[in-house]
């Protein structure tokens, strides 16, 4: 069975973006970039795979990406940001997407359970916080790029009511840039 993996950058105070949805405060230079990209090249937007040297690299971890509407429509974003993956956007209002981006407008948890039953690599939940809170019972693994920055306010890692859910740390990588890459899984 495939896993739903919430892979996201987060601040020290638990935000995945500023209040306006931007993430300019995150650290985009340093040793963590090469280290994490080498292990998770499938999470690079399609347009960045070639410049970063991963254009011919097969997907290693994910073959499907699931994102909320705000994550999909990030300012300056692309109509098909992860064309090398099967792309899903959760939205009750979005209707205008390319053919390779499917909109899920109802029974999100049911659709995720069905996707998890399919053969293939894991499913990447790349945002946002409201969707992560809604899907917390379905999330099997957390991959958190913890950046050494405090936003003070913004979009939380889990934005909404969620039951207490325990995860077990299974890996930790520390980088000179100050970024920590933490892996947590359901026990």
10 occurs within a structural domain: no
User: How open is the CA angle 137-12-125, to the nearest 5 degrees?
Assistant: 35
Average pLDDT, the chain: 94
pTM here is 0.95
Kindly tell me if the per-residue pLDDT of 133 is higher than 70: yes
Kindly tell me if the per-residue pLDDT of 75 is higher than 70: no
Condensed to tens digits (0 to 9), the pLDDT of residues 8-57 reads: 999 999 999 999 888 889 999 999 999 899 999 999 999 999 998 998 89
105 occurs within a structural domain: yes
171 occurs within a structural domain: no
73 occurs within a structural domain: yes
Domain coverage including residue 46? 17-123+134-150
Kindly tell me if the per-residue pLDDT of 77 is higher than 80: no
Q: What is the DSSP string of 27-64?
A: --SSHHHHHHHHH-GGGS-HHHHTTTT-TTPPPSSEEE
Q: What is the DSSP string of 2-28?
A: --EEEEEEEETTSEEE-TTS--TTS--
* Structural domains in the chain (count): 1
31 occurs within a structural domain: yes
186 occurs within a structural domain: no
104 occurs within a structural domain: yes
Condensed to tens digits (0 to 9), the pLDDT of residues 88-106 reads: 999 999 988 888 999 999 9
β-bridge mates for residue 10, sequence order? 146
Largest pairwise CA distance in the chain: 43
- Residue 21 makes CB contacts below 8 A (sequence gap 6+) with 70, 74, 75, 155
Torsion region of 90: left, alpha or beta (phi above 0 gives left; psi -120 to 50 gives alpha)? beta
102 occurs within a structural domain: yes
């Amino acid at each position: 069975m495939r896993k739903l993996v919430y892979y996201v950058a987060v601040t020290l105070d638990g935000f995945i973006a500023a209040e306006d949805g931007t993430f300019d405060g995150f650290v985009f230079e340093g040793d963590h970039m090469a280290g994490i990209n080498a292990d998770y090249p499938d999470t690079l937007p399609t347009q960045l795979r070639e410049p970063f040297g991963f254009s011919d690299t097969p997907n290693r971890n994910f073959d499907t990406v699931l994102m909320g509407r705000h994550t999909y429509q990030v300012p300056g974003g692309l109509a098909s940001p992860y064309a090398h993956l099967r792309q899903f956007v959760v939205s009750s209002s979005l209707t205008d997407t390319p053919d390779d981006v499917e909109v899920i407008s109802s029974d999100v948890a049911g659709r995720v359970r069905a996707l998890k039953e399919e053969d293939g690599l894991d499913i990447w939940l790349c945002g946002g916080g409201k969707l992560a809170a809604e899907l917390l019972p379905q999330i099997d693994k957390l991959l958190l790029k913890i950046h050494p920055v405090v936003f003070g306010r913004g979009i939380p890692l889990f934005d909404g009511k969620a039951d207490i859910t325990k995860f077990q740390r299974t890996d930790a990588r520390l980088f000179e840039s100050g970024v920590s890459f933490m892996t947590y899984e359901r026990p």
